[in-house]
Amino acid sequence: MTDPTTYISHLELGEPDKTYLDTNELIINMGPQHPATHGVLRVILKLDGEKVLGTECVIGYLHRGVEKIAENRTYAMFNPYVDRMDYVAAVSNGLGYCETVEKLLNVEAPPRARYIRVILTELNRLASHMLWLGTHALDIGAMTPLFYTFRDREEILKIFEKYCGARLTTHAFRIGGLQYETYEGFEKDVKNFLDFVPPKIDEYEELLSTNRIWVERTVGVGKITGANCIALGVTGPVLRASGVKWDIRKAMPYSGYEQFDFDIPTCENGDTFDRYMVRMKEMRQSLRIIRQAVDGIPSGPIMAKVPKVIKPPAGEVYHSIEAPKGELGYFIVSDGSTQPYRVRVRPPSFVNLQALDLMVRGALVADVIAVIGTIDIVLGEVDR
């Protein structure tokens, strides 16, 4: 376990050096308008030459107060807001929220709805990982994968658009199930995509996995051990790349994930390259899940018996799902009225970003860029 005393988040600058040759530590500012910070993240770096001595993240530029908004909306009205947190994985956000409210109501979505939810959520995981790969590679200097991944992500967004009319903030699910039945040809589209995408993933790996520049920039960079991940609450692919085989889809299955056969990919070293490998393997596992789900979609209703005005009995519940970035949890307190008394979102990006300081200490400035990319943060979710 980590000794917390060695992990200090705030920066302490020494006394200024009065000699002629000033070799003082330098504090510089990165962001918030830096293209490689994936949004509006400001990082204050304490440097000794090119070496990073410490960092401090300044966040909140995108804070919209979704938790406060939730208290002033009904359960159904708040549903679209959750899409705006992690906007590259909106479907996962919606799944987590809907399942938590369903838990409060003590209802369960019908099997058909759960299968379609799994298909869309896993497609969204692929889309999220593709976007991550493209932008992460772009940060490190490989421009080509960006065009490839965006080209292929487009096919997923087309399915979303045909299903619910929106590409990014989909609002695909409703409390109790789904609002829309699948469109004609949904299964064919998904199956076409499943045949279309594996060679593309091979293509990305061909471009990067053995690319000397990529390997030099990622192997051994931003190392974090499994014990440190657990101490810092880091989840998702970052945790798995450090050798901890833990995935909520297996540990505490939800939405019928226990019916599907898939593996949890892990790596040992916990560096940037391993996190890349874990996500690439995860994409293939997602394809496996989608294949099983689309072959076995049961028929039946898509909406459970949920009252029109949602009024969960007083009580509180915490439920979490495995979002593309880690554990996404909702803690909802109901007072028996139509509006939630309190909604707490446990965002994976926010908690994972805390590990940045530990991961970049002793590294070079250029590695900070690589590590921000590899944690896979979305500032909309960090700041909420």
Partner 1 sequence: MSEETKSSAPPPGGEPKPPADKPSAGTVQSTPSEKMSPSSEKPAATSSEKPAAAASEKPAAPVEKPPVAAKPAAPATAGAEAKAPASPAAAAKPAAPAKPAGPAPVPWESPLVSRLRTRHGSGVIEASTYLGQNYLVLESSVTLETLQVLHEQEGFDYCVDITAVHYPKREKPFDLVWILYSFAKNDRLRVKTMLADGESFPSSYPIWPTANWLEREVYDMFGIKFDGHPDMKRILLPETWEGHPLRKEYGITQQDSKWVQINLGIESGQ
Q: Does 361 bind partner 1 (CB under 8 A)?
A: no
Number of residues that bind partner 1 (CB under 8 A): 76
Assess 184 for contact with partner 1 (CB under 8 A): yes
Closer residue to partner 1 (CB): 145 or 348: 348
The yes or no reply on residue 9 touching partner 1 (CB under 8 A) is yes
**CA-based nearest residue to 270, from 331, 219, 345:** 219
- Phi, psi (rounded to 5 degrees) for 177: 155, -130
Tokens matching residue 288: 């496996």
* Distance in Å, CB of 20 to partner 1, minimum: 35
Residues 364-383 that bind partner 1 (CB under 8 A): 383
* Shortest separation between residue 121's beta carbon and partner 1, angstroms: 19
Angle at alpha carbon of residue 160, lines to 312 and 116, rounded to 5°: 55
Tell me the window of 25-33, 44-52, 207-215, 324-332 that interacts with partner 1 (CB under 8 A): 324-332
Q: What is the closest distance, in whole angstroms, from the C-beta atom of residue 342 to partner 1 in the complex?
A: 5
Q: Can residue 60 be called a binding residue for partner 1 (CB under 8 A)?
A: yes
Does 300 interact with partner 1 (rule: CB under 8 A)? Answer: no
Among 225, 331, 361, 366, binds partner 1 (CB under 8 A): 331
The residue within the footprint of partner 1, chosen from 246, 256, 259, 291 (CB under 8 A), is: 246
Stretch that binds partner 1, among 22-30, 43-51, 125-133, 301-309 (CB under 8 A): 301-309
Under rule CB under 8 A, residue 350 binds partner 1: yes
Contact call for residue 292 and partner 1 (CB under 8 A): no
Q: At what angle do helices 186-208 and 111-140 cross, to 10 degrees?
A: 30
Binding residues for partner 1 restricted to 26-45, rule: CB under 8 A:
none
Q: In this chain, which stretch among 41-49, 134-142, 177-185, 199-207 interacts with partner 1, using CB under 8 A?
A: 177-185
**Nearest to 88, CA basis, from 167, 165, 34:** 167
Total residues belonging to the chain: 384
Distance of CA 91 to the CA centre of its chain: 11
Q: What residues numbered 146-175 form the site for partner 1, per CB under 8 A?
A: 155, 158, 161-165, 174
Among 17, 35, 49, 68, binds partner 1 (CB under 8 A): 68
| Residue 4 lies near partner 1 (rule: CB under 8 A) | yes
Smallest separation (angstroms) from partner 1 to the CB of 198: 18
Q: Does 267 bind partner 1 (CB under 8 A)?
A: no
Nearer to partner 1, 80 or 111 (CB): 80
Q: Find the part of the chain contacting partner 1 (CB under 8 A) among 126-134, 203-211, 283-291, 313-321.
A: 313-321
Amino acid at 377: I
Nearer to partner 1, 293 or 353 (CB): 353
User: Binding partner 1 by CB under 8 A: which of 52, 98, 101, 104?
Assistant: 104
In the complex, the smallest distance separating the C-beta of residue 130 from partner 1, rounded to whole angstroms, is 17
β-pairing, 177-178 vs 173-174, is antiparallel
- Please tell me whether residue 71 binds partner 1 under the rule CB under 8 A: yes
Which among 19-27, 56-64, 275-283, 361-369 is the span making contact with partner 1, rule CB under 8 A?
A: 56-64
Contact between 252 and partner 1 per CB under 8 A = yes
